[in-house]
Amino acid sequence: MIGKVKRTFVYWTGLLILFTLSGCYPDESLNVPVNEDQIAVETDLDLYINEKFVSEYGMAIRYRFSDNFVSPGQSVTPTRIESVRPMLDFIEEFWIDPYKDIENGEEFFRNHVPAEIIFLGGVIFDVNGNLLLGLAEAGAKITFTDVNSVDVTDTVWRARQLNTVYHEFAHTVHQRYKLPNAFETIAAEGYTGPGSWFVLSDDDALQRGFVSPYSTSSPNEDFAECVSFFLFDPNFEATFMDIEAGCLTEDCVSRNEGRLRIAEKIATIKDHYKKVTGVDLESLRAAVQSRL
């Protein structure tokens, strides 16, 4: 009796895929800058962008759609014009201004700012229907997805955008100054790879000493994720550093071991930042958190 029910279940579970989404970062993608000559319209919004971002920081804001912004096979929609200004205000308040608030912060920001910021209206889907929440672009430029949902009071949306921008910006540090000495040895056994990190859960990653599954994909991504989570996540200490008391299970013990590795990484990263950029990450974190 039960056997038939179970056999039917095995067949039926395949159909669940119809309702399943997966979220991940893709591999680093091919991107070609949009041709400036093709941007003909100059609106008040363009003038604002020119004054506040292009002239001020040398940072172009691409909000008009070009399919070169994503890889072949990926699909995404453009921004609503009405969403662009709120998004500009968001990145100014939550990304640029915190650097201005701290010692050496503004100088660091101006010296490391990427040449291009790209706004995409929706989230990206690949050819298999997988949902991509962000693009890994190694700091050369920063692409914001889901700009049409801009709402700074939406904590999930806000966290995703801050994760994107602080992650990508952190890449500039290891690109110019290399990773902290022996950083990759702190949780050396825990790395997976670009093609397999997504099989891990958040808890799996923590037990290995990582702040997210994606951070296990390489030491560079680990570095960027550590910086990003440390800056934007209000619960960083509670989740990733505070030791659980009275552990009775192997998982709990592993989580605590993972937390010790993360604490070591954060200490190393903070020293590295201070030494090579003059930026105190604790001060920067306080500046970011004060705005949340």
Partner 1 sequence: MMKKWTIVAVFSILLISCSVDDSAKLPSVEERSSRAINDLKDELTAPQNGWVLSYRPTNQTGVFFILLDFNEDGTVRIQSDVVASNGEFIDQVNSYRIDSSQGLELIIESYGVFHYLFELEQNSFGAEFEFIFIEKEANNLVFRSKSDQGFDVTILTFEEAGSTAGNSITVEALGFLEQGIFHKENLGNTGSMGHFNFHIPANNHTISITLDLDRRVIKFLGIAEGLDMTSIVAANSISNLNSEIRFSLSNERIVLDQAQQIDFGGTSYQINEIPIGNFSTSQESFCTGQQETIVNLSGGGDLGSFNAQSSLFQVRNRFQPAPDDVFGVNYFFIYDESDNSINTQIEAVFPDVVAFQWYYNFEIDTDSILNAVGFVTVDEFNNADFYLRGFDVVQNGNNLQMTFNGKDLITDDSPTPAQLTGLDQLTDLIFSGGEVYMLEILNQGGLFEFYNPCNKYKGFVL
What residues form DSSP beta bridges with 109?
none
Residue showing tokens 């790395």: 191
Interaction of residue 122 with partner 1, rule CB under 8 A:
yes
The reply on whether position 19 binds partner 1 by CB under 8 A is yes
- Compute the least distance from the CB of residue 36 to partner 1, in Å: 12
Considering only residues 126 through 185, tell me which ones interact with partner 1, judged by CB under 8 A: 129, 131, 148
Q: Give the pairing type, strands 116-119 and 142-144.
A: parallel
Establish if 80 lies at the interface with partner 1 (CB under 8 A).
yes
Q: Does 202 bind partner 1 (CB under 8 A)?
A: no
Q: Which of 30, 32, 36, 41 binds partner 1 (CB under 8 A)?
A: 41
234 touches partner 1 by CB under 8 A: no
Task: Tell whether residue 32 is a contact of partner 1 (CB under 8 A).
Answer: no
33 interacts with partner 1 by CB under 8 A: no
Q: Which backbone phi and psi does 194 adopt, to 5 degrees?
A: -60, -25
Select 2 or 245, whichever has its Cβ closest to partner 1: 2
Q: Which stretch binds partner 1 (CB under 8 A): 102-110, 122-130, 201-209, 256-264?
A: 122-130
x/- binding map, residues 45-74, to partner 1, per CB under 8 A?
-------------------xxxx-------
The smaller minimum CB distance to partner 1, of residues 64 and 274, is found at: 64
* Distances, alpha carbon 16 to alpha carbons 81, 199, 200, 219, in Å: 37, 18, 20, 35
Distance of CA 75 to the CA centre of its chain: 20
Residue 35 CB, nearest approach to partner 1 (Å): 8
Binding-site member from 29, 50, 77, 239 for partner 1 (CB under 8 A): 77
CB of 190 to partner 1, least distance (A): 20
Give the span between the Cα atoms of 166 and 176, in whole angstroms. Answer: 16
Structure-token pair, residue 268: 């190393």
Between 120 and 284, whose beta carbon lies closer to partner 1? 120
Question: In terms of CB distance, is 12 or 156 closer to partner 1?
Answer: 12
List residues binding partner 1 (CB under 8 A).
1-2, 4-6, 8-9, 12-13, 15-16, 18-21, 38-41, 64-67, 75-81, 83, 121-122, 125, 129, 131, 148
